[in-house]
Amino acid sequence: MEYVLRTEGLTKSYRGNRVLNGVTMNIRRGDIYGFVGENGSGKTTVIRLITGLIYADSGEFTLFDTKSSDPAILAARARVGAIVEAPSIYLNMSAKENLLMQSGILGLHGNEERCYLTLATVGLGDLWGSKKHAGDFSLGMRQRLGIAMALLGNPEFIILDEPMNGLDPAGIVEIRELILHLNRNMGITFLISSHILTELALVATRYGIISHGRLLQEISAEELERVCHHTTDIKTTDRDALIALLSSDFDHTKMFLIENGVHIESDIDLNDVLGRVIAAGIPITDVNTRRSSIEDYYLSMIGGGRRA
């Protein structure tokens, strides 16, 4: 198994407040790794450590088989493109001017052909001759320009911190399709942090779930699909009787109280359950079933919900 990034026990504190607590994660070549966590969970801190913006108090990481303590880590980082928090774009410059500026910073000597091809790759090739300033672009266009700037160095690994934040639905679709194109057609590995979990589920091949500075779990999209089961809400005018009947059949960790009923997080034979409820004379006012999502799984991991 070839890994692009492996971290081991990363720990970081600010003013005595520990924001990372022994984070160990593994990103394989070809992954679209969805980094999931609430605000303040430590996602951006991990990204800042990897990109060299800050340093860990303890622990280390390996990037392209180069340890973070090795001076060669600078060369390894040259194989990474990143957008941390927001694209570093000059709003008073055109798309072409931004790319030529970034090209110079990367030592590419203002390579216009590479800049144009990169802009075309993200679907903004028609802006090459435009004098329109980036400040007048939509958020989605600015995000794509930022990804173009990250692509200039021909990276093998791209890190995106909340790339869909603030985008309208059309912009979200554009960024999603661009990520899939770069991954599938250009072989680029991604680390993507995002709050929009339902959208992340459309691109991620693997997930890391972090909360309060601890990485709780890493799970593949296939494994997540297997554990995301159907859920059922049964409502009644006699909740106590319903709970008493179902308690013998379901683990209490799988059954939660809701208003006027119970929520069951388990695949069930609905016809059998309802038949027994009716036979027991317990009135049913509503039944709703659905398949659990990544959001449900995430909330269960961090302790969301209330047990019956």
Q: CB 267: neighbour CB atoms within 10 A?
A: 12
Question: Residue 134's pLDDT is what?
Answer: 93
Residue 308 has pLDDT above 80, yes or no: no
Listing DSSP states for 203-225 in one string gives T-SEEEEEETTEEEEEEEHHHHH
Kindly give the pairing relationship between strand 66-67 and strand 17-23.
Answer: unpaired
Query: Average of pLDDT values for 20-35?
Result: 96
Question: Residue 167's pLDDT is what?
Answer: 84
Instruction: Report, at the CATH architecture level, how domain 229-291 is classified.
Output: 2-Layer Sandwich (3.30)
Q: Which residues of 47-58 are buried (b: 16+ CB within 10 A; e: fewer)?
A: bbbbbeeeebee
Residue 261 has pLDDT above 70, yes or no: yes
pLDDT grade, residue 42 (50/70/90)? Answer: very high
Kindly give the pairing relationship between strand 261-264 and strand 255-258.
Answer: antiparallel
Per-residue pLDDT tens over the stretch 47-65: 999 999 999 999 999 999 9
Q: What is the pTM of this model?
A: 0.78
User: What amino acid is encoded at 154 in this protein?
Assistant: N
Instruction: Report, at the CATH architecture level, how domain 3-225 is classified.
Output: 3-Layer(aba) Sandwich (3.40)
Per-residue pLDDT tens over the stretch 189-239: 999 998 778 888 899 999 999 999 999 999 999 988 877 777 889 999 999
Cα distance between residue 245 and residue 258, in whole Å: 16
pLDDT grade, residue 135 (50/70/90)? Answer: very high
Q: Which residue ranges make up each domain of the chain?
A: 3-225, 229-291
Which of the residue ranges 109-113, 170-174, 296-300 has the most confident prediction, judged by mean pLDDT? Answer: 170-174
Nearest 5°: CA angle at 111, between 75 and 129?
A: 135
Token pair for 242? 């319903």
Question: Residue 251's pLDDT is what?
Answer: 65
Strand partners, 26: 6
Residue 270 has pLDDT above 70, yes or no: yes
CB 30 within 8 A of CB 2: no
Residue 289 has pLDDT above 90, yes or no: no
pLDDT grade, residue 91 (50/70/90)? Answer: very high
Mean confidence (pLDDT) of the chain: 89
